[in-house]
Amino acid sequence: MYESILRRGAGIGGTRRLCLAIGLVAFGAGSLLAGASAFAQDPVKVDPKHYKVEFENSQVRVLRINYGPHEKSVMHHHPNSVAIYLADGQARMTTPDGKSRDLAIKAGVAEWTPAGSHQPENVGDKPFEVILVELKTKKAPAK
């Protein structure tokens, strides 16, 4: 595709077409990166009201998560994690595709949560608290 633009670029208006093509490619790539980063947001950075780092090392990051009644977060991402619920509650998790599911949270329950993006909301009348142990993965060495 780009070769044909370059070959035709020698004619009248060719430079304008070439600049337009480069601009469109750059805009498209920038839009894709911006969209991808919107779903890969760190909850501690985008929602410090609800997320606090309690401990972190090279293996895990431990978050304390607090939501008041009817409070809602922003879309963010977690790696594979283990959630430990410290209080009963009712939550709604909405995924980037717009689908949502309601959860009944029970104090004392620990569960595996696979990596993913979501927007949590406390749909209950009581606050709830969660400890989330995020697992860090090591990148494979370059070959």
Same domain, 71 and 128: yes
Contacts of 109 (CB under 8 A, 6+ apart): 84, 85
pLDDT digits (tens, 9 = 90+) for 25-52: 333 333 333 344 444 699 999 999 999 9
Where in the sequence is the domain holding 15, given as residue range(s)? 2-38
CATH at residue 83: 2.60.120.10
Are residue 29 and residue 47 in the same domain, yes or no? no
Distance CA 108, CA 92 (A): 19
Confidence class for position 140, pLDDT limits 50, 70, 90 = low
The pLDDT > 90 percentage for the chain reads: 67
| 73 and 130 housed in the same domain | yes
pLDDT of residue 137: 85
Same domain, residue pair 125 and 68:
yes
Which pTM was predicted? 0.70
Could you give the CA distance from residue 132 to residue 10 in angstroms, rounded to a whole number?
A: 59
Same domain, 84 and 119: yes
CA distance 52 to 43: 9
